[in-house]
Amino acid sequence: MGVKFEGFNYINGGICAPSGFLAAGLHCGLRKNKSKKDLALIVANEVCNTAAVYTSNKVKASPLMVTKEHLEDGKAKAIICNSGNANACNADGEDKAKSMCKIVAQELDIDMKDVLVASTGVIGQTLDIMPIKNCIGNLSQSLSTTGSGNAAEAIMTTDTVKKELALEFEIGGEKCRMGVIAKGSGMIHPNMGTLLCFITTDVDINTPLLQKALKRAVKLTLNRVSIDGDTSTNDMAIIMASGDAKNKKIINEGKDYEIFLNALYILLMNAARKIAADGEGATKLLECMCVNAPSEDVAEKVAKSVITSSLFKAAMFAADANWGRILCAIGYADAEFNIDGIGVELASSKGKIIVCKDGNGVSFSEESAKEILSDDEVKIMIDLQNGDGKAIAWGCDLTYDYVKINADYRT
């Protein structure tokens, strides 16, 4: 189900795996294709400590602004999310986003301020609120502990597979769980959110530490995914903590907090990999690791620079070991480091090959390199030999289908 880590086990159930959460998803009519779900609802049994991070795009969608307002107290009980329409750049966008919250609040008999809202889809088109209003009864009646998969499908746009994961681990001898659903396939670039991501956990943790953990985990994972260099107007990641695991409440940084942070990292790292692998038109997942950099920040900038290079991504589509494009992308990274010691190795399950050493090319078999790069997961290892900083970034190849998907997106 994902990259394995000792002490953390993958389980089924997604966002409903943690105790205290229900979810549902259905087709309400926002999308023309009736076979595609387009409305999701996540509800906690009680009001939860909640944290979020948002897009860095200056143009922010109305649902994001309403969610930010509702989260001023760090509490939430429900999340409503639609696909098919981003409700962004609309004069009535804020009213529509608040209407979605009000519809949920009235249906569930809860405070409207405890409802968060998200939307995804085409930007600049007016959102029709009636399909949501007409289906809220069916949606709420569909809420269940097995509804995570339906909710994951309902937030998808050009995604070809749903992104859903859950982990089980222990804190202070108590069994704890954490789950996630996410959507993202295009308009993804590492400047926060890079997608919609909803996380639930039954760990008991205060809101300030929840916010701190989310910000750090997102920096190491979701902020290091790039599909096409475009940062969306709607990106956000939200985490709700029910406290139902009954662990000793985490109120300080320490061993329990580190376990929680590691769980969140593992969950979001695997979500990031799933998103990168499902990039629009993609045929392979690219993972770039930069090591021995002057700092983590430098390593991150170098890895991102490579993973966002259109020329490099196109070469990977052709399984062409054009390592000069990697060096070029390293060279224009906005960071200071010594270029003389750079080494580059390409690897996959089919083997590995060194293509650059001490900043210069080395002879290698083009045939072997092509075979290695023909795998559906390719690793690019960059060694700066200039410190102990390291970072990983994820992306995908650039294919003909990416252009076709986005040329036809509104039609």
Please tell me the predicted confidence (pLDDT) of residue 86. 85
Assess if residue 2 is contained within a domain. Answer: no
SS3 (DSSP) at 149: helix
* pLDDT tier, 57 (very low <50, low <70, confident <90, very high otherwise): low
Please tell me the predicted confidence (pLDDT) of residue 224. 86
Question: Catalytic residues, which ones?
Answer: 194
- pLDDT, averaged across the chain: 90
What region does 39 belong to: left with phi over 0, alpha with psi -120 to 50, or beta?
A: beta
Q: Are residues 170 and 265 in the same domain?
A: yes
User: CATH number, domain at 340?
Assistant: 3.10.20.340
Averaged pLDDT, 56-77: 88
Please tell me the predicted confidence (pLDDT) of residue 408. 66
Assess if residue 329 is contained within a domain. Answer: yes
Amino acid at 246: K
Q: Are residues 299 and 259 in the same domain?
A: no
Q: Are residues 273 and 181 in the same domain?
A: yes
Cα–Cα distance measured from residue 228 to residue 187, given in angstroms and rounded to the nearest whole number:
6
Range of the domain at 168: 9-277
SS3 (DSSP) at 166: strand
Is the pLDDT at 192 greater than 50? The verdict is: no
Q: Which of 102, 174, 182, 108 is nearest to 148 (CA)?
A: 182
Averaged pLDDT, 364-380: 96
What is the C-alpha R_g of the chain?
A: 21
Judge contact between 194 and 223, C-beta under 8 A: yes
Please tell me the predicted confidence (pLDDT) of residue 343. 96
* pLDDT tier, 161 (very low <50, low <70, confident <90, very high otherwise): confident
Averaged pLDDT, 148-172: 93
Please tell me the predicted confidence (pLDDT) of residue 193. 39
Assess if residue 187 is contained within a domain. Answer: yes
What secondary structure does DSSP assign to 32-83, as a single string? S-TTS--EEEEEEEEEEEEEEEE---SS--HHHHHHHHHTTTSEEEEEEEEE
Assess if residue 106 is contained within a domain. Answer: yes
Assess if residue 383 is contained within a domain. Answer: yes
Q: Work out how many domains the chain is built from and give that number.
A: 2
Please tell me the predicted confidence (pLDDT) of residue 409. 54
More confident position, 198 or 411: 198
Q: Are residues 271 and 361 in the same domain?
A: no
Q: Are residues 213 and 73 in the same domain?
A: yes
Judge contact between 112 and 101, C-beta under 8 A: yes
Angle of helix 93-108 versus helix 62-70 axis, rounded to 10: 50
Please tell me the predicted confidence (pLDDT) of residue 285. 93
Assess if residue 318 is contained within a domain. Answer: yes
Averaged pLDDT, 330-345: 93
* pLDDT tier, 59 (very low <50, low <70, confident <90, very high otherwise): low
Give per-residue burial for 220-246: e unless 16+ CB within 10 Å, then b: bbbbbbbbbeebbbbbbbbbbbbbbbe
Put simply, whether the predicted model's pTM sits higher than 0.75 gets the answer: yes
Averaged pLDDT, 226-247: 79
* pLDDT tier, 404 (very low <50, low <70, confident <90, very high otherwise): confident
The domain boundary, picked from 214, 248, 277, lies at: 277
Cα–Cα distance measured from residue 23 to residue 20, given in angstroms and rounded to the nearest whole number:
11
**Segment (H or E) for 393:** strand 389-396
Please tell me the predicted confidence (pLDDT) of residue 35. 87
The domain boundary, picked from 277, 298, 316, lies at: 277
Residue where the block lists tokens 């779900």: 37
